[in-house]
Structure 1
Amino acid sequence: MSTMTSSGTLYMLPSPLDAGAACALDTPAAVRDCAHRLDYFLVESAKSARATLKRLEHPTPLRELEIVELPPEKDGRLLRELLAPVLAGRSAGVISDAGCPGVADPGALAARTAHTMGIPVMPLVGPSSILLGLMASGLNGQSFAFHGYLPVEDGARAKTLAELEKQSARLRQTQLFIETPYRNLKMFDAIRSHCRGSTLLCVAAALTAPDQFVRTKPVSKWTVEEIGRIDRRPTLFLLLAD
């Protein structure tokens, strides 16, 4: 008589947004408890994941856990190999460098591949800079779009900002995007140069950190002095045009 083997589950485990903050401040107990039950992790960065698991006080010595970095985005073959133990019954956790795995993150392909293999995918509640920034912004939370990173080249970035502003005005839709921290000030300068003065701009930096910075005002009202607080810090930009 043949027996069917139940697969394990792929858990999407949010990690803290601020590496220096106490984990208990922004990591629900359910995430901590789930992580404690796992010994196999597919991660964006092994170093970052080990730091997260240490803050979560994983009961198993870190050197005894299997922590594997996710492959390049299009390497589906290797992902299927990494998920084979889960299909065979060993559950695993996906951990991003910060925030929710699978959102602007290589964990998305792990979840998609798991679905094609018939592996259950279980997301757990945790910090998301996108939702936290939107919550604090006062902008339209019923219609919004996240665009990830905008083009780096000046001309292409200016064109994209103009398109996003037009889309925001037409749909009354909040437009959200991020930038590499060391280019935050360049992004701010581009917004001031290419967006209308009446367009609302929210800047949300270092969310969940003790000195987080969240402020919304028209583009024309922002000053270079106050925006200095976002230099080289994880930042979310939000626009709402009239």
Structure 2
Amino acid sequence: MREKVTGHLYLIPVPIDQNDNTSILLSKDKNIVEHLNYFVVENEKTARFHLGALNLHKPINQLHFEVIDQTKTQEDITSYLTPLLEGFDIGLLSESGCPAIADPGSKMVALAHQKNIRVIPMTGPSSIILALMASGLNGQQFKFHGYLPLEKEDRIKKIIAIENESSKYHETQIFIETPYRNQHIFNDLISKLQDKTKLCIALDMSSENEFILTKKIADWKKEVTPDLKNKPCVFLLQG
């Protein structure tokens, strides 16, 4: 008896700016997406928007969508693998940028590997990598921390710890925050980091309002604070 062939899990990037309806896919990747009928997405509304921008040769309402977010259980995500196990390919989309990086889609990818399903990433933008590229900080050694602790006391401890780690290993330390909390993070960084530490603020990546600036903390204290409120931001520091 022939072994049953499983489908492939394609990791499909979308523009970082959620209002951008420009197709960013390479032509070879767009051809693959044309043939997909199953999608697992972080947000169905934005996924439909970005897939619509590709001008697919099929109605969007004929596609099958499953939503993967922080509320989904392991059992939910396991059920999303069913088409793959039946031989159908699936596309995985984040709400912004590349899926599975600081994104719940990583759980789907992990399960796919456990089931020996081939995972194929497509070329696309990551705000984290773009910010590092533009920061002027160490791009040879770096660490991504995701989100810092919610409680202020724990957050301060984490900030001091990663600054010490950066100084010890000469690493760039990268983290992100929920947009409405950006200003609190910035204030903590300015007040707790050493004056010689470099801090990069990367706001609204890939949009017409993009802002990227790297300065020492001593210089940031003299600078007019950029408007961080409700804007996607990547923070990078190097001690």
Q: For this structure pair, what is the TM-score category when the shorter chain's length is used for normalisation?
A: over 0.9
Checking the alignment, whether the CA contact within 8 Å between 2:38 and 2:65 is kept in structure 1 is yes
- Identical residues among aligned pairs (%): 37
1:233 and 2:231 correspond: yes
2:83 maps to amino acid: P
Checking the alignment, whether the CA contact within 8 Å between 1:137 and 1:215 is kept in structure 2 is yes
Q: 1:225 to 1:218 in 2, by over 3 A?
A: closer
1:28 maps to amino acid: L
Residue in structure 2 matched with residue 67 of structure 1 by the alignment: 65
Which TM-score applies when normalising by structure 2? 0.94
Residue in structure 1 matched with residue 14 of structure 2 by the alignment: 15
Aligned residues: 239
Which 10-residue stretch deviates more, 14-23 or 131-140? 14-23
- For 2:28 and 2:193, locate their aligned partners in 1 and report how far apart those are by CA, in whole Å: 42
Q: Provide the alpha-carbon RMSD of the alignment.
A: 1.7
1:230 aligned counterpart, secondary structure: coil
- For 1:194 and 1:72, locate their aligned partners in 2 and report how far apart those are by CA, in whole Å: 31
2:58 aligned counterpart, secondary structure: coil
Residue in structure 1 matched with residue 79 of structure 2 by the alignment: 81
Q: 1:170 to 1:114 in 2, by over 3 A?
A: same
Residue pairs, 1:75-224, within 5 angstroms: 75-222=73-220
CA shift, 1:173, in A, is 0.3
1:122 aligned counterpart, secondary structure: strand
Which TM-score applies when normalising by structure 1? 0.93
1:43 and 2:41 correspond: yes
- The one-character-per-residue Cα deviations of 1:75-101 (angstroms, maximum 9, x if unpaired) are 333322211211111000000011111
Q: 1:184 to 1:150 in 2, by over 3 A?
A: same
- For 1:71 and 1:160, locate their aligned partners in 2 and report how far apart those are by CA, in whole Å: 26
Checking the alignment, whether the CA contact within 8 Å between 1:213 and 1:229 is kept in structure 2 is no
Q: 1:86 to 1:213 in 2, by over 3 A?
A: same
Residue in structure 2 matched with residue 4 of structure 1 by the alignment: 3
Checking the alignment, whether the CA contact within 8 Å between 1:148 and 1:177 is kept in structure 2 is yes
Checking the alignment, whether the CA contact within 8 Å between 1:100 and 1:128 is kept in structure 2 is yes
Q: 1:191 to 1:116 in 2, by over 3 A?
A: same
Checking the alignment, whether the CA contact within 8 Å between 1:202 and 1:237 is kept in structure 2 is yes
Q: 1:79 to 1:147 in 2, by over 3 A?
A: same
Match of 2:50 among 30, 49, 52: 52
Checking the alignment, whether the CA contact within 8 Å between 2:38 and 2:63 is kept in structure 1 is yes
- For 2:45 and 2:72, locate their aligned partners in 1 and report how far apart those are by CA, in whole Å: 22
- For 2:37 and 2:224, locate their aligned partners in 1 and report how far apart those are by CA, in whole Å: 45
Checking the alignment, whether the CA contact within 8 Å between 2:18 and 2:95 is kept in structure 1 is no
Which 10-residue stretch deviates more, 42-51 or 92-101? 42-51
CA shift, 1:55, in A, is 1.9
The runs of 5 or more residues in structure 1 that have no matched partner are: none
Which 10-residue stretch deviates more, 215-224 or 111-120? 215-224
The runs of 5 or more residues in structure 2 that have no matched partner are: none
